[in-house]
Amino acid sequence: MTDRSKTFPIIEIFGPVIQGEGAMIGHQTHFVRLGGCDYRCAWCDTMYAVIPEEVRSNSVPMTAREIVERLQELNPDTPWVTLSGGNPALHHLDTLIDMLTEAGFKAAVETQGSIYRPWLERCSLVTVSPKPPSSGMNQDLSTLTRFLDLPGINLKVVVFDEADLAFARDVHARYPEVPFYLQIGNDLERDDRDSLLEKLDWLSSKALNDPVLSQAIVLPQLHVLLYGNRRGV
């Protein structure tokens, strides 16, 4: 099997949409969600792309060419393609990145920083989002140093509570030179627009009164505020 005939477990491809998170917030992008993850975060909102049996049930095997062709069908003029999951860094996406570039797309990717792949060096933007205590995961922050020289590198921490905020402060203090985003957490079972805005007010107040976080960029879950908690947006 040649590299270009290799298939990937694709959970969904959709767009164009307005990106609701991180450094890409407000940008028009397509999404390619790949199945599989090495984490099991307690509040994960895409478990259908994480649990192996769910991935087998929900995914379609697609080659890099088929993925790019689908994106072109959706809208060839959308500048960005966001690779998401799960954890897209589980996969060897070298060919896909090359073909996206050839087709005129810029690739953005989000990963928790547990796995490094050389293809990340050819992405236009890489968001590393280490998982805070509320996730139930034990994140080794020392692994993040591998990512710091990547183009468009930025760090993002989702914050649900005070413990998460303390974790975020630690991340930012370790790597103060890297653009840093604080994102409010979204509880699929409980949150609506009003509760998310209350969380944003709380997180903003915390950042404004903390010198360590004076350079942090505080963000909502814009896509949830716009569209609610549903897939494909």
What are the chain's domains?
3-227 (3.20.20.70)
Find how far residue 138's CA is from the centre of its chain.
Answer: 18
Q: 147 with 128: CB under 8 angstroms?
A: yes
219: which 2 tokens? 């963000």
Give the per-residue pLDDT at 1: 43
- Could you tell me the strand order of the sheet in which 180-184 lies? 60-63, 7-18, 28-34, 80-84, 106-111, 125-128, 153-159, 180-184, 217-219
136-192 confidence digits (pLDDT tens): 999 889 889 999 999 899 999 999 999 999 999 999 999 999 999 999 998 887 888
Q: Where are the alpha helices (DSSP H) in 75-129?
A: 94-102
Give the per-residue pLDDT at 186: 87
Q: In whole angstroms, what is the distance from residue 85 CA to residue 145 CA? A: 22
Q: 87 with 35: CB under 8 angstroms?
A: no
Q: Which residues of the chain have pLDDT under 70?
A: 1-3, 229-233
Q: In whole angstroms, what is the distance from residue 20 CA to residue 24 CA? A: 7
Q: 89 with 109: CB under 8 angstroms?
A: yes
Give the per-residue pLDDT at 232: 56
pTM over 0.95: no
Cis preceding linkage at 76, omega within 30: no
99: which 2 tokens? 């073909």
Give the per-residue pLDDT at 231: 60
Task: Return the ∠ at Cα 55 (arms to 146 and 48), rounded to 5°.
Answer: 90
Q: DSSP 3-state assignment of 202?
A: helix
Q: 33 with 86: CB under 8 angstroms?
A: yes
* E strand or H helix that includes residue 196: helix 193-208
